[in-house]
């Protein structure tokens, strides 16, 4: 039984007022003085200047007309000409007080588990799976030799394995970390047509199965584009135009599994996830009937994986489309749901990406209800991940 990796690409982009964020959970960390820590991260700008600069960038991205230079306004006087609209956008993106935390401050942590996945298959019977012969020296050697010959002629063992993945995610506005741990919850082996005197314990081979399942454990970190790059993306023509917070732009991913690691950079950034704190109206305004991000170049900048060596370049595309929010198998009825489909050909999984991820959002709770991951793997083709599984 060999399981392919199931990387969960949950990412947070870096943020100016372009607001590229991961789907924040109910365990979100709120701090009342976030605006002062955000301002202190810029050595040369005062709080008002920083907010004004960011608001001007947001206004440009959203197409809001500002006829006055906000940097020339004194003190805490409200900005004119578009400020109310900009403030409304910030609130629609999930920041009701109009302030932003420091880019490095952890703003969400979430632990989710997948539903159980049952894997069935066959494997040859190893002699170690057959109970040893009686402890009688001569007879034991004779029976042992017979047993080995019998094992060689036995049909394959049928196995049933039940596995479950646990995903832990933590992130700030400038990046995220994620760990995936896959565990074996049940295992059974059976063989039909065994000759008399030969039996196979139902848990035979479990230790090997546990090692194979654990080989799917992975860790990843991701980061978005710089504030300036995100501002440019959301201001200029193209699929990222006017996307300020509902889709997270992912610039780099570092993915490791089984002692192999690689870092991949995307030009242009790819959609990584859906930001769950946005309002339903904001989703409709920014994504509408869907977005297509094509002609993307993925470049492997560092790797010890022979399947994807350093310097490899792969072209691909990503689409984001609205889908039904009904997920009856776990009782979810989300009012907002989107599928992110990623296609870099045969290298999609090697890049640490999944062919499709579907995000189910409850905008009333400002929380992520579930994620459905289609891995492209024959043994674990689909994972339904949610809190409380």
pLDDT tens string 263-319: 999 999 999 889 888 999 999 999 999 999 999 999 999 999 999 999 999 999 999
Query: Residue 61: its pLDDT value, please?
Result: 62
Domain ranges of the chain: 34-92, 108-114+217-386, 117-167+184-214
DSSP state of 70: G
Condensed to tens digits (0 to 9), the pLDDT of residues 96-140 reads 887 766 777 887 788 899 999 999 998 887 777 776 655 545 444
Determine what percent of the chain is predicted with pLDDT higher than 70.
Answer: 72
Asked whether the predicted pLDDT for residue 380 surpasses 90, the reply is no
* Residues forming beta bridges with residue 117, ordered by sequence position: 163
In the block, tokens 């314990």 appear at 201
Q: Give the closest residue to 361 by CA, choosing from 46, 94, 39, 49.
A: 94
Q: Across residues 354-362, what is the average pLDDT? A: 94
pLDDT in tens, 203-229: 888 998 999 888 888 899 999 888 889
The whole-model pTM stands at 0.77
Residue with tokens 């008002």: 48
Joined together, the tokens standing for residue 318 give 């990503």
Q: Where are the alpha helices (DSSP H) in the chain?
A: 34-40, 47-62, 83-92, 137-153, 206-214, 227-235, 280-287
Residue 268 preceded by cis peptide, ω within 30:
yes
How far apart CA 196 and CA 181 sit, in angstroms, is: 41
Confidence (pLDDT) at 335: 94
Evaluate whether 63 touches 237 at the Cβ level (below 8 Å).
no
CA dist., res. 289 & res. 174, Å (int): 28
pLDDT digits (tens, 9 = 90+) for 3-40: 333 222 223 222 222 223 333 433 443 433 333 222 22
Q: 333 to each of 276, 326, 328, 363, 383, how far by Cα in Å?
A: 15, 5, 7, 11, 18
Run of H or E including 59: helix 47-62
Chain centroid offset of residue 372 CA? 10
Percent of the chain with pLDDT over 90: 39
* Residue-wise DSSP of 369-383: EEEEEE---SSS-EE
Question: Per mean pLDDT, which range of 100-104, 147-151, 152-156 is the poorest?
Answer: 147-151
Q: What is the pLDDT of residue 65?
A: 57
**Contact predicate 270/252, CB 8 Å:** no
Look at residue 343 and tell me whether its pLDDT is greater than 70: yes
């Amino acid at each position: 039984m060999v399981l392919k990796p199931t990387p969960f690409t949950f990412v947070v982009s870096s943020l100016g007022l372009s607001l590229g964020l991961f789907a924040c959970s109910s365990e979100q960390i709120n701090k009342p003085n976030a605006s002062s820590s955000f301002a202190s991260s810029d050595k040369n700008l005062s709080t008002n200047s920083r907010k004004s600069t960011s608001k001007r960038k947001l206004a440009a991205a959203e197409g809001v007309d500002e006829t006055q230079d906000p940097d020339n306004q004194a003190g805490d006087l409200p900005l004119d000409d578009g400020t109310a609209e900009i403030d409304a956008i910030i609130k629609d993106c999930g920041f009701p007080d109009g302030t932003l935390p420091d880019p490095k401050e952890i703003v969400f942590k979430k632990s989710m588990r997948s539903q159980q996945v049952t894997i069935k298959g066959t494997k040859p019977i190893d002699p170690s799976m057959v109970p040893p012969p009686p402890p009688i020296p001569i007879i034991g050697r004779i029976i042992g030799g017979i047993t080995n010959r019998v094992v060689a002629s036995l049909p394959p063992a049928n196995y049933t394995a039940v596995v479950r993945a646990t995903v832990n995610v933590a992130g700030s506005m400038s990046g995220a970390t994620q760990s995936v741990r896959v565990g074996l919850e049940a295992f059974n082996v059976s063989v039909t047509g065994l000759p008399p005197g030969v039996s196979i314990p139902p848990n035979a081979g479990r230790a090997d199965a546990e090692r194979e399942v654990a080989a799917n454990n992975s860790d990843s970190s991701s980061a978005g584009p710089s504030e300036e790059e995100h501002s440019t993306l959301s201001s200029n023509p193209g699929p990222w135009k006017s996307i300020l917070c509902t889709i997270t732009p992912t610039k780099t991913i570092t993915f490791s599994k089984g002692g192999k690691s690689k870092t991949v950079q995307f030009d242009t950034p790819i959609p990584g996830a859906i930001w769950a704190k946005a309002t339903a109206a904001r989703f409709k305004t920014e994504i509408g009937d869907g977005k297509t991000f094509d002609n993307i170049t993925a470049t492997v900048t560092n790797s010890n994986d022979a399947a994807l060596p350093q310097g490899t370049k792969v072209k691909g595309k990503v689409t984001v489309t609205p889908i039904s929010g009904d997920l009856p198998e776990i009782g979810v009825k989300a009012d907002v749901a989107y599928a992110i489909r990623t296609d870099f050909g045969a290298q999609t999984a090697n890049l640490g990406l999944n062919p499709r991820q579907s995000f189910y959002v409850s905008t009333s709770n400002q929380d992520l209800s579930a994620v459905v991951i289609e891995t492209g793997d024959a043994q674990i083709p689909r994972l339904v991940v949610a809190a409380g599984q």
